[in-house]
Chains A and B, each alone.
Chain A
């Protein structure tokens, strides 16, 4: 997989997994927190991408 979006999702998945495991103790809480982090990371990435879209390089 070499697409920007795909790699961003994979990266966010790894980081969310580690953060959720670090910050929560119960598996159920880890899953819920990890899912929220993943959505937040990917959502923020897409949002920032669109905000930067009109800017010249």
Chain B
């Protein structure tokens, strides 16, 4: 029964679904009719990212001279649109001396990484593997 999604999904559409899933957490699932999962991802990942910023976590810059900072940037970017919204409104500067700084980083980074997993799940659904 699940394979019907893949039967309808053209190869180009699969990549569009993945792009949508990256830009807005959960959108890839919503577009494929998995409303419950999509809504949970949208709420949980966006909240986790916002909570990390509220804990004074930092949105890391792309700094190739510092490999760990560059990796953290890639992980941060995984959340998609919320990253760019946060950047544009000037949050995510991070306050190193804040007691919750490292916790905030963990929340922001893991929210991005979890969204990458969600994108892969949306890809598998579009391919008919799930």
Which residues from chain A sit less than 8 Å from chain B, CB to CB?
2, 7, 10-11, 14-15, 17-18, 21-22, 27
Contacts and interface: CB of A to CB of B under 8 A. Distances in A.
Contacts of A22: 37, 117-118, 121
A36 B43 CA distance: 21
B117 A11 contact: no
Contact of B114 (A2, A7, A15, A27): A15
Interface of B: 36-37, 40-41, 44-45, 47-48, 51, 55, 99-100, 103, 106-107, 110-111, 114, 117-118, 121
B119 to A, nearest CB: 11
Main SS of chain A's interface residues?
helix
Contacts, number: 39
Nearest to A22: B121
A17 B100 contact: no
Contacts of B106: 11
A18 B107 contact: no
A2 B56 CA distance: 11
B59 to A, nearest CB: 18
A17 B26 CA distance: 13
A10 B50 CA distance: 13
Nearest to B99: A2
Nearest to A24: B37
Nearest to A18: B114
Contact of B110 (A15, A21, A27): A15
